[in-house]
């Protein structure tokens, strides 16, 4: 997938679930099964989304629901057809893409 590629970013809450799994874990496996080249998950320490509710790691609470960020990378022909289904799996989060230029992917 060297050359022009697509970065897909998906933001969701850590506590969101899908089919009895944390949503972010479900998505990582889902992208892997679809043969997508690479996925990286990060946990934010604070944030808010469309509902304007601030989630933060500053207060120790059981349900802190911190932001989880997925970075998904592959060629546009593999990323773009998956976007509608990603949007329906992620009920409240943010989904966006950016155009990137890939110079190296594993041992390719």
How many chain residues bind a second copy (CB under 8 A)? Answer: 50
Instruction: Examine residue 28 and tell whether it contacts a second copy (CB under 8 A).
Output: yes
Does position 93 interact with a second copy (CB under 8 A)? The reply is yes
Q: State the minimum distance, in angstroms, from the CB of residue 84 to a second copy.
A: 8
Q: Interaction with a second copy in 46-85: which residues (CB under 8 A)?
A: 46-52, 54, 58, 67, 69, 73, 83
Tell me the C-alpha distance between 90 and 56, whole Å. 20
Contact 20, 46 (CB under 8 A): no
Q: Report in angstroms how near the CB of residue 35 gets to a second copy at its nearest.
A: 9
Per the CB < 8 A criterion, the answer to whether 59 and 83 are in contact is no
R_g over Cα of the chain:
15
Q: How far is the CB of 99 from a second copy (least distance, A)?
A: 7
Q: Which of 15, 24, 26, 61 binds a second copy (CB under 8 A)?
A: 24
Pick from 33, 41, 40, 42: nearest CA to 82 = 33
The burial of 40, by beta-carbon neighbours within 10 Å (0-12 exposed, 13-18 middle, 19 or more buried), is given as: exposed
Binding site for a second copy (CB under 8 A): 5, 7, 11, 24-25, 28, 32, 37-52, 54, 58, 67, 69, 73, 83, 86-87, 90-108
């Amino acid at each position: 997938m060297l050359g022009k590629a697509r970065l897909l970013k998906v933001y969701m809450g850590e506590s969101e679930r899908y089919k009895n799994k944390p949503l972010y874990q479900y998505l990582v496996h889902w992208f892997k099964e679809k043969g997508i080249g690479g996925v990286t998950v990060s946990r934010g320490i604070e944030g808010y989304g469309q509902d304007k509710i601030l989630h933060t790691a500053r207060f120790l609470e059981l349900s802190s629901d911190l932001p989880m960020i997925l970075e998904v990378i592959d060629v546009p022909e593999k990323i773009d057809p998956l976007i509608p289904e990603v949007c329906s799996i992620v009920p409240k989060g943010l989904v966006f893409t950016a155009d990137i230029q890939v110079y190296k992917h594993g041992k390719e």
